[in-house]
Amino acid sequence: MSGGGAGLPPDLAAVRALPKVDLHCHLDGAVRPATLLETARAGGVPLPADTVDALLPHVRVSPACRSLDDFLATFETFYPVLSVPGVMGRAARELLLDAADDGVVHVEARFCPDLQATPQRPAEDVVLEVLEGLARGSAESGVSYGAIVCAYRPFTVEANERMVDLALAFAGKGVVGVDLAGPESLPGAPFARALERAREGGLPVTIHAGEAAGPESVREALDVLGARRIGHGCAIARDEALLARVRDEAVPLECCVTSNLQTQAVASLDVHPFDAFRRAGLAVTLNTDDPAVSGVTLSDEYLLAARTWGLSLDDLRALALAAVDAAFLDDAARAALRRRVGAPS
């Protein structure tokens, strides 16, 4: 991989035209503000504003956001809307339409169905709705997809076993993997057995680790939870032995640069480890995390990386191809996606 330099630095149009892959995108952080407004109204859920412009400051983190608390408070504003039947399905469809507009050709959309379930609406209905929305959005946009079901650290072992059971019930029907999300101050080890069952059932596991917590959370993800990929992994930069291991074992990292700055997982772009990881030969990918809440597209993230670290369009294409390699796909689908992203398969 070259360090850039050859030719002009890519501009937004060139980055948009590059076929891209988003492996780390939370559906609940990707809902269009206009959709929140419309569906909240229809569902009788109060929001703090009644026009999109007035709502934006409440549902999108401001450039001044400098803490995880600020970041999470943004979700609280609109979270009740997502439990209204139909909203997650609509959001899933619109996610793929928006991805297509941004030149994204494949999205792995993740969500934790229990967070939108209610006594009247079981988690299974949330999954069905999301999968139907993704299928519709894909048919309309040509963007391919996989759904990742998130287990959630604050949940009980039993609740996360139910999430895994749900994921397994829809394996081969749109669900392609399982994630563990939530505050990294809570241990992942209690969910080792549930995640093992996911893997035994054919669903690979990705784990949020090394974002808020240190290198030990990444070790736990690899050694105890069987992670095939790591969400974020910023803390790997603080541990040389771990960095060498992640490189040698070719563990893909789902990097989300803007999100890391907003939550203060990383203090500033100057010290973000993305390019150090890339230069060290780690399998880095660039992703959005929560595009609507962060106010970014995947093209924005690619462009930010290009401008910050002097990456060429070829470097960016290599990142997209790394995401193809890391995607939770079977061999045939991976080969097809690789052709689409532009390299010989």
Which residues are the active-site residues? 211
Burial of 2 from C-beta contacts in 10 A (0-12 / 13-18 / 19+): exposed
The C-alpha atoms of residue 196 and residue 164 are separated, in whole angstroms, by 10
* Residue 118 DSSP label: B
Q: How far is the CB of 204 from Zn ion (least distance, A)?
A: 16
Residues touching Zn ion, count (CB under 5 A): 1
| Closest CB to Zn ion among residues 4, 273 | 273
- Whose Cβ is closer to Zn ion: residue 28's or residue 289's? 289
- Cα–Cα distance between 35 and 89 in angstroms, integer? 11
Residues 284-313 that bind Zn ion (CB under 5 A): 289
Tell how strand 284-286 and strand 20-26 pair up: unpaired
* Closest CB to Zn ion among residues 40, 115: 115
- Rounded CA-CA distance 286/23 in Å is 8
Minimal distance in Å, beta carbon 254 to Zn ion?
Answer: 8
Smaller CB separation from Zn ion, 37 or 205: 205
CB 179, min distance to Zn ion, A: 8
CA–CA separation, 77 vs 224, rounded Å? 35
Which span (14-22, 46-54, 91-99, 281-289) binds Zn ion, by CB under 5 A?
281-289
* Residue number, 98 or 289, with CB nearest to Zn ion: 289
Contact stretch for Zn ion (CB under 5 A) within 51-59, 77-85, 283-291, 318-326: 283-291
Largest CA distance in the chain: 58
What's the rounded Cα separation, in Å, for the pair 316 and 286? Answer: 9
Distance of CA 297 to the CA centre of its chain: 12
Tell me if 339 sits within 8 A of 320, measured CB to CB.
Answer: no
CA angle 319, 302, 227 (to 5 degrees): 50
* Least distance in angstroms from the C-beta of 18 to Zn ion: 23
**Edge-to-edge strand order for the sheet containing 229-232?**
20-26, 104-111, 144-152, 175-181, 205-209, 229-232, 253-255, 284-286
Measured at CB, which residue is nearest to Zn ion? 289
Using a 10 angstrom Cβ sphere, with 0-12 exposed, 13-18 middle and 19 or more buried, the burial of residue 149 is buried
Give the Cβ contact number of residue 202 at 10 Å. 11
The nearest distance, CB 309 to Zn ion, in angstroms, is 22
* Pairing assessment for the beta strands 20-26 and 104-111 based on DSSP bridges: parallel
Q: Least distance from C-beta 38 to Zn ion, angstroms?
A: 26
Binding site for Zn ion (CB under 5 A): 289
